[in-house]
Amino acid sequence: MRAALWLMSLFAVAVATALLASHNVGTVSIFWSPYRVDLSLNLVIFGLVLILLTLHWAQRGLTALFELPKQAKRWRLQQKERAAHAALLDAMAQFMEGRFLRARKSAELVLAREKSLAQAGEIVEHAGALRCVAHILAAESAHALQDRAGRQSHLDFALQEPMSRNSGMRQSLMEGAMLRAARWALDDRDASESLLWLDRLPQGVSRRTLAMRLRLKAARLAGETSQALDTALLLVKHRAFSTEAAVSMVRSLVFELIAKTHELGQLQRLWNRLGDAQRNSPDLATQAAQHWLSLKGDSDVARAWLKPIWNRRQQEPQTFTKIQHLKFIQVLDRSFTGQDSQDERDWLVWIEAAQKANPRDSLLQFLAGRVCQKRQLWGKAQVLLTQAAQSLEDPSVRRLAWRAVAELAEQREDSGTAMQAFKKAAMD
């Protein structure tokens, strides 16, 4: 379409010129004593146009001639820049191939070529970024080669690069260099050094998934379980792990932290830090309640932690394994003291209702019998514990049930039944 328009315009100009020239009868007289020269007006106009075109092309030719040195200089700069970038790409390719020695040499070649450009007085706008990337790549290669001195030297040079026009790029490169340094320290099993690098990061960067993953590994390596748990909970919130991996990791960290906790206040603060998903975990709640009772904590608090697990067990008993069910019943039994409190009376009602709904559940029979024993309901406790002791699978719980039966028999002064129960307990 554009070519057709140009062709139509050319024809229009040609027609207009022909019409103007054919009807133009004017002349131009030039007096040059003692001569007189008469020229056609069309010839004069044609000559002027020709002179202007000649001057225009002459000016352009001279300009191009004088621009040749500058163009040559720009060409040399462009070639050197291309050579530096080619060396950088080669270094990256060699690094990805695992040829770390060649990668470091190529990165150092980038630095050498950029230095030659600077010494020649040719300024590259992104020279600082180019040097920084080359230093980081060389440091990465040195780390792979276990050259810590070379790695640290290149890292220092990368962090000391001056500000360039693109401050955003420099900031990104500095943050990236510090993240790499944190990972290098972690690879060296130097958790404290890794945490120091991570602490130097800006707040926004430290909350990125990569930084939090490094912090989690460093905290676990340094034995900072509390910090590792906080980081793990943030990563779970950001969905940085799969559901199974997140549950397993948080559970192991909570177990470890519970084992290191020796004060009731610390354990309460730990429980408050956990989310609903962790509090509703049977393993975590049971372990926390067991440790709370071991520290002589209030039984009401332990039962409050176990109540969501109890409700879940009543609604979804198939989600509990035998081990989880067993441990939960043992810890819940341990939490009852026999005090005449509203909480223990409520629990007695709930347990009896659950036992009647599942009469074949020996663990529920055992729990109901133990609660009745502590509430001094000895007749009901005798019946429930005797039935449970005959069908319990776990030796420790079965032994405890027979001992409870023997104690109840001694209270009734039934020495024969007591001796028989003690004998069965001893056999387990």
Q: Would you say 110 and 91 are in contact if contact means Cβ atoms under 8 Å apart?
A: yes
Q: What is the CA radius of gyration of the chain?
A: 44
Q: Would you say 182 and 144 are in contact if contact means Cβ atoms under 8 Å apart?
A: no
- What values do phi and psi take at 37, rounded to 5? -120, 125
**pLDDT 10s digits, 149-161:** 988 888 888 888 7
* Residue 323 identity: I
Please report, for the chain, the start and end positions of each structural domain, with discontinuous segments joined by +.
28-119+127-147, 337-428
Per the omega criterion (within 30 degrees of 0), is the bond before 34 cis? yes
Q: At what angle do helices 100-119 and 127-144 cross, to 10 degrees?
A: 160
Q: Would you say 162 and 129 are in contact if contact means Cβ atoms under 8 Å apart?
A: no
Which residue, chain included where needed, has tokens 């206040």?
Answer: 265
User: What is the predicted pLDDT for the residue at 102?
Assistant: 92
Contacts of 382 (CB under 8 A, 6+ apart): 369, 405, 408, 409
Long-range CB pairs of 120-125 (<8 Å, 24+ gap) are 122/73, 122/76, 122/77, 122/80, 124/77, 124/81, 125/164, 125/165
For residue 230, the 8-state DSSP code is: H
**pLDDT 10s digits, 396-424:** 878 887 787 777 777 776 677 777 767 77
Identify the CATH homologous superfamily for domain 337-428: Tetratricopeptide repeat domain (1.25.40.10)
User: What is the predicted pLDDT for the residue at 119?
Assistant: 75
Q: From the first residue on, what is the mean pLDDT of each consecutive set of 10 residues in the chain (428 residues)?
A: 80 73 71 77 79 89 81 77 85 90 90 80 75 89 90 87 65 87 90 88 84 88 84 81 80 84 87 84 88 88 89 84 86 83 85 83 83 79 78 80 76 72 68
The burial of 23, by beta-carbon neighbours within 10 Å (0-12 exposed, 13-18 middle, 19 or more buried), is given as: exposed
Max intra-chain CA distance, the chain: 164
Q: Alpha-carbon distance 246 to 236, whole Å?
A: 6
**pLDDT 10s digits, 257-268:** 888 888 888 889
Supply 56's token pair.
């225009």
Contacts of 224 (CB under 8 A, 6+ apart): 195
The pTM assigned to this predicted structure is: 0.67
Please state, in angstroms and as integers, the Cα–Cα distance from residue 83 to each residue in 76, 77, 110, 111, following that order.
Answer: 11, 10, 8, 11
* Residue 59 identity: Q
Identify which of 409, 361, 347 has the alpha carbon closest to the alpha carbon of residue 382. Answer: 409
11 in helix, strand or coil? helix
Identify which of 300, 303, 302 has the alpha carbon closest to the alpha carbon of residue 292. Answer: 302
